[in-house]
Structure 1
């Protein structure tokens, strides 16, 4: 059972999470439409790494293209994780080259 302070903290955390998800949906709108056009239906790209690659293999070229765009760290991380599968092996060399350019100085 949460105290009053605990409930307030939980409500604040829930609101922050909802705000981040809403921001992802806005930021990813064009990408989500492209994915839907090839039969991949997700609410946010961040869901893809939790799915079997077989469910979105046809979208790998789209994901790779979007990895080059100026998205938030959260979206870029989800795109990169979605490409960290054996089915996306042909993109790995480019991913290795992209990583230092994308993340240098961010962490």
Structure 2
């Protein structure tokens, strides 16, 4: 898992996603559901063994990127894969929902 911010977003997410999908967790420390979903995403990153990079962006500290991607609710999870249209979901979803999402997208 990597932390990303407004300054390194282009390199760590956009450019990196051309080599390997990057799953971004848009979150905030003041968000209860964000704290619930975070360990699930980290567990799945380990289980999927390098099939994607998990990145976390704190929307409170990085409002520019959150605005650019029109993040209105958190947690919002978005998968970036090269030039493909990003896909994602909003809210603290179940592990099985997230696993199904990843299986379809990867």
TM over 0.5: no
More helix by share: 1
In the superposition, the TM-score normalised over structure 1's length comes to 0.28
RCO higher in structure (CA 8 A, sep ≥6): 2
Q: Which has the larger radius of gyration?
A: 1
